[in-house]
Structure 1
Amino acid sequence: MVVYFKARPDAGDYTIYMGADKNENEELIKYGLPEDVWFHVDKVSSTHVYLRLKKGETIDTISEGLLEDCAQLVKAHSIQGKKMNNVEVIYTPWSNLKKSPSMHVGQVGFHNPRMVITQVHVLTVEKRVNEIINRLNKTRVERRADLKAEKEATNAAEKAERKMQLKEKKRKEEMERLEKEKWAEIRSYKGLMVAEKMTSNRQIASAGKSMQEMEDEFV
Structure 2
Amino acid sequence: MLTLIAYEERRRLSLDLSSVIAATTQWLIRAYPAADGAMNAALAEAQARQAVTVAAWLRYTDPTDASLVALIGPGGSFRLDWLVDAEPYEIRGPDGVWRTCVDEVVASWAAALLTCSTLASEGVAALAECEHGPGSPGEFRRLTAPDTHDRRAAPFLRHPDLMACVAELHRPQLLERLGRLHSDDQTPTSAAS
TM range (shorter): under 0.3
TM-score, normalising length from structure 1? 0.25
Which structure features the higher share of helix residues? Answer: 2
Q: If the length of structure 2 is used for normalisation, what is the TM-score?
A: 0.27
Where relative contact order (Cα < 8 A, 6+ residues apart) is larger, the structure is 2
Rg larger in 1 or in 2? 1
Determine which structure has the larger strand proportion and give its number. Answer: 1
